Amino acid sequence: MDLFQAQERIEELSEQLRQHNDAYYVNDSPQISDYEFDMLLEELQRLEAEYPDFAQPNSPTKRVGGSITKKFETVVHQYPMLSLSNSYSREELIEFDQRVQKLAGKKVEYTCELKYDGVAIGVSYKNGQLHRAVTRGDGTKGDDITENVKTIRSIPLVLKGDYPEEFEIRGEIFYPLSVFKALNESREEAGEDRLANPRNAASGTLKMQDSRVVASRKLDCYLYYVLGENLPFKSHAENLSAAESWGFKVPKKSEKLFATYQSIEDIFEFIDFWSTERNHLNFEIDGIVIKVNDYYLQEELGYTAKSPRWAIAYKFKAEQVETRLNEITYQVGRTGAITPVANLEPVLLAGTTVKRASLHNADQIEKLDIREGDLVQVEKGGEIIPKVVGVNLTHRPTNSEPTRYILNCPECDTALIRIEGEAKHYCPNESGCPTQIKGKMSHFISRKAMDIDGLGEETIEQLYAEGLIHNYADLYTLNEEDLLKLDRMAEKSVSNLLQGVENSKKIPFERVLFALGIRYVGETVSKKLAKHFKTVDAIINASLEEMIAVDEIGEKIAESLFSFFQVPENLDLINKLKSYGLQFEIVETASTQISNIFEGKTFVVSGVFETYSRNELKKTIEDYGGKNVGSISKKTDYLIAGDKMGPAKKEKAESLDVTILSEQEFIEMLDK
Ligand code: IVH
């Protein structure tokens, strides 16, 4: 390839990737599979590394991050980042409308939008290129977090269409709740504390120094406000829809995320709609924002020191209920972490009946002086698990006594410990506490770890109670004769179980490492360790310093790993597992393409499956030469339909004559 060809290919790839990015993240209608996208991106990365002079500053390769920001520069906002005045009642909105109308001397048009509960961001563009992204800070100046923001796929790096030469666009960056939930699940798997709420988590992520980590976190962003000297239109609604044509993800009218109204009654209806419908969104909102649509009128209304007079936020009351706290119980996790749980008088909150709520840790109980028998306020935040946020002291029973946090493990009575700097208490009896042992075994057999079919938590309980297993290595010594003696164990289930155990011996090293259940060693960390050290012996023999030298392995993880391998029982377990034939070395594979039976075929995978996870299904499709897309169109060949698939998808597939396959039918196609 000569220089000219390289430059041309770089430009061509950048443009293609930009279009596919837009189709996927902004318009929700992917045209190529994730695999194809990654291939194009890899080619561009290779070319940019070879011909750095041609790499564009806003190249799509910026999406994967790579730059490290040691200190975020402080930048003065060109336009101050004001806040909105809040209202909590309809009367206040009526007063707002009256003030505005009085000044306008006529009926006024308003826009209604959601009030996104995320991190405010101002992104400026020059000549269609993302120039800078700055946090709100104190409103006058904020932090330059450009490199991190560039990794957010729904924020365009290069614009399309007819955009002004220079302008700024403001919006809110947030964690989709599904992403936040998955993040917390993987933290929990790694024995780390859950993050309290999506907003703080987003704010923390955006301040990370390594943009590669930010890129892996799948943040999203809605843009809701355009500012500049030469904007194409004189109304907010028109400018937002213009911004959509330049490639921004803006709240859409068609999704009822945006509306224009002339009457306060219509605004109330919008509020009523979202006050319940918000429970079905994949992100958090904390109210509705009402803005005067016309820019001239906005200017006339002007600003107070803190906020515009042409806009107001209607804040939803945090969904809160009061109920009786019957009892505080304590849960022991598989790593020994203790979580206090509030057992409540069942109560309806945000559409679901709540019986239990998290009390987090001893400090939280002490801070709020939460006691059994109290009437407590329970709130549903971003967390799926509700939390106790306050106590109604006026109703405290007269005989009430302060809560004394437990000193011993509720399961094995060992004295609890509290490591300095950590919020949680731990039961240190790792190899003797039954709950921890069973928890570790459940983790070991789980889908993302050893994925042992035919074995569930109940069976683990049974096997443990009968004394057939004392740790996860014992699973490999189970035999037919012993198992058949157990209750509810017929020949078929016994053979399934033994087959599942046998199959797990093929599970790759990184998952075996994850399955061991070492505190702070989650899926991602396991992969990193396996890739770096290649064998378990190399990890066992590594010093603390050598562990910390691995990308993304910090002191906390290294110390946990190091001390795990210091314990003779743990080494003994590993030796046993080795002797049973489990994988303790990495097997490096090249291409995974197995066959091309699905060449030219396009698949949509939707719902929940029994044998495969959704990702495994997608990978299998690609391994057999097929292509995955996100939504059904005329060009789709197959819809693989799992449980819980929405009826709309099925209807669409039927109307477009797309073949619908069950998971079993798909597996049969592979077998053929
Ligand atoms: S417009 C001058 N629209 O709420 C006002 N703000 O408390 C410009 N927010 O700083 C802001 N959703 O961070 C606007 N649809 C929306 C919003 C929104 C959330 C945030 C924003 C603002 C804060 C004010």
Q: Work out which ligand 1 atom sits closest to the CA atom of 114.
A: 15
Best probe residue, ligand 1, of 78, 84, 135, 278 (max atoms within 8 Å of C-beta): 84
Q: Work out which ligand 1 atom sits closest to the CA atom of 115.
A: 12
Handedness of CA 627, 628, 633, 636 (dihedral sign): positive
Q: Work out which ligand 1 atom sits closest to the CA atom of 308.
A: 2
Q: Work out which ligand 1 atom sits closest to the CA atom of 119.
A: 13
Mean pLDDT in residue range 564-585 = 95
Ligand 1 atom 22: residue of nearest CA: 83
Cα(180) to centroid of ligand 1, in Å? Answer: 22
Domain borders along the chain are: 3-64, 86-315, 318-428, 434-506, 509-579, 602-671
Best probe residue, ligand 1, of 79, 86, 116, 220 (max atoms within 8 Å of C-beta): 116
Ligand 1 atom 1: residue of nearest CA: 225
Helix (H) or strand (E) segment spanning residue 216:
helix 211-216
Residues above pLDDT 70, as percent of the chain: 98
Q: Work out which ligand 1 atom sits closest to the CA atom of 120.
A: 13
Q: What burial letters (b/e) apply to 11-46, b meaning 16+ CB within 10 Å? A: eebbebbbebbbbbbbeeebbbbbbebeebbeebbe
The architecture in CATH of the region 86-315 reads 2-Layer Sandwich (3.30)
The predicted pLDDT at position 588 comes to: 66
Strand, coil or helix: what is 494?
Answer: helix
Q: Which two tokens stand for residue 335?
A: 């790593």
Mean pLDDT in residue range 581-594 = 77
Q: Work out which ligand 1 atom sits closest to the CA atom of 136.
A: 10
| Residue 520 Rama label (left phi>0; alpha psi -120 to 50; beta) | left
At the top level of CATH, the class of 602-671 is alpha beta
Ligand 1 atom 16: residue of nearest CA: 115
Which of 13-22, 165-174, 200-209, 616-625 shows the lowest per-residue confidence on average (mean pLDDT)? 616-625
Cα angle value 500/506/512 (rounded, 5°): 95
Strand, coil or helix: what is 411?
Answer: coil
Please determine, for residue 647, whether its predicted confidence score (pLDDT) is greater than 60: yes
The predicted pLDDT at position 195 comes to: 82
Ligand 1 atom 3: residue of nearest CA: 224
Cα(288) to centroid of ligand 1, in Å? Answer: 10
Best probe residue, ligand 1, of 81, 224, 226, 253 (max atoms within 8 Å of C-beta): 224
Ligand 1 atom 6: residue of nearest CA: 115
Note if 115 is an active site residue: yes
Residues above pLDDT 90, as percent of the chain: 61
Which of 186-195, 317-326, 487-496 shows the lowest per-residue confidence on average (mean pLDDT)? 186-195
The pLDDT tens digits of the residues spanning 143-190 come to 999 999 999 999 999 999 999 999 999 999 999 999 998 998 888 777
Report how far residue 56's alpha carbon sits from residue 66's, in angstroms, rounded to the nearest whole number. Answer: 15
Q: Work out which ligand 1 atom sits closest to the CA atom of 311.
A: 5
Fold equal for 434-506 and 509-579: yes
536-541, Cβ contacts within 8 angstroms, sequence gap of 24 or more: 536/509, 536/574, 536/578, 536/584, 536/585, 537/584, 539/513, 539/565, 540/565, 540/571, 540/574
Q: Work out which ligand 1 atom sits closest to the CA atom of 225.
A: 1
Mean pLDDT in residue range 281-285 = 92
The answer to whether 574 and 536 have CB atoms below 8 angstroms apart is: yes
- In a 10 Å sphere around its CB, with 0-12 CB exposed, 13-18 middle and 19+ buried, how is residue 668 labelled? exposed
Mean pLDDT in residue range 262-290 = 93
Best probe residue, ligand 1, of 88, 114, 115, 135 (max atoms within 8 Å of C-beta): 115
Ligand 1 atom 13: residue of nearest CA: 120
The answer to whether 222 and 171 have CB atoms below 8 angstroms apart is: yes
Name residues whose C-beta falls within 8 Å of residue 502's C-beta, 6 or more positions apart in sequence.
Answer: none
| Pocket around ligand 1 at a 6 A CB cut-off | 82-84, 113, 115-116, 120, 172, 224-225, 289, 308, 311, 313
Cα(216) to centroid of ligand 1, in Å? Answer: 26
Partners of 339 in the β-ladder:
331
Ligand 1 atom 23: residue of nearest CA: 83
Cα(238) to centroid of ligand 1, in Å? Answer: 18
Ligand 1 atom 12: residue of nearest CA: 115
The predicted pLDDT at position 31 comes to: 85
Amino acid symbol at 5: Q
User: Distances in Å between the alpha carbon of 52 and those of 45, 146, 148?
Assistant: 10, 21, 21
The answer to whether 523 and 461 have CB atoms below 8 angstroms apart is: no
User: Distances in Å between the alpha carbon of 90 and those of 94, 125, 134, 268?
Assistant: 6, 38, 34, 8
Grade residue 384 by pLDDT with cuts at 50, 70 and 90. Answer: low
CATH number at 434-506: 1.10.150.20
Best probe residue, ligand 1, of 81, 289, 307 (max atoms within 8 Å of C-beta): 289
Cα(83) to centroid of ligand 1, in Å? Answer: 6
The topology (CATH level 3) of 3-64 is Helix Hairpins (1.10.287)
The predicted pLDDT at position 155 comes to: 95
Report how far residue 557's alpha carbon sits from residue 555's, in angstroms, rounded to the nearest whole number. Answer: 6
Cα(99) to centroid of ligand 1, in Å? Answer: 21
Out of 3.30.420.40, 1.10.760.10, 1.10.150.20, 3.40.228.10, select the CATH number for domain 509-579: 1.10.150.20
Which of 35-39, 45-49, 412-416 shows the lowest per-residue confidence on average (mean pLDDT)? 35-39
Ligand 1 atom 18: residue of nearest CA: 115
Grade residue 16 by pLDDT with cuts at 50, 70 and 90. Answer: very high
The pLDDT tens digits of the residues spanning 622-646 come to 888 888 877 788 888 999 998 878 7
Cα(239) to centroid of ligand 1, in Å? Answer: 16
Please determine, for residue 100, whether its predicted confidence score (pLDDT) is greater than 70: yes
Grade residue 68 by pLDDT with cuts at 50, 70 and 90. Answer: confident
Cα(174) to centroid of ligand 1, in Å? Answer: 13
Cα(84) to centroid of ligand 1, in Å? Answer: 6
Out of 3.90.1150.10, 2.40.50.140, 3.40.50.300, 3.40.50.720, select the CATH number for domain 318-428: 2.40.50.140
Cα(68) to centroid of ligand 1, in Å? Answer: 29
Please determine, for residue 658, whether its predicted confidence score (pLDDT) is greater than 80: yes
Catalytic residue among 115, 387, 440, 618: 115
pTM: 0.66
Cα(254) to centroid of ligand 1, in Å? Answer: 21
Grade residue 592 by pLDDT with cuts at 50, 70 and 90. Answer: low
Cα(665) to centroid of ligand 1, in Å? Answer: 49
Please determine, for residue 203, whether its predicted confidence score (pLDDT) is greater than 70: yes
Grade residue 590 by pLDDT with cuts at 50, 70 and 90. Answer: low
Q: How would you classify the pairing of strands 141-143 and 166-174?
A: unpaired
**More confident of the two residues 612 and 278:** 278
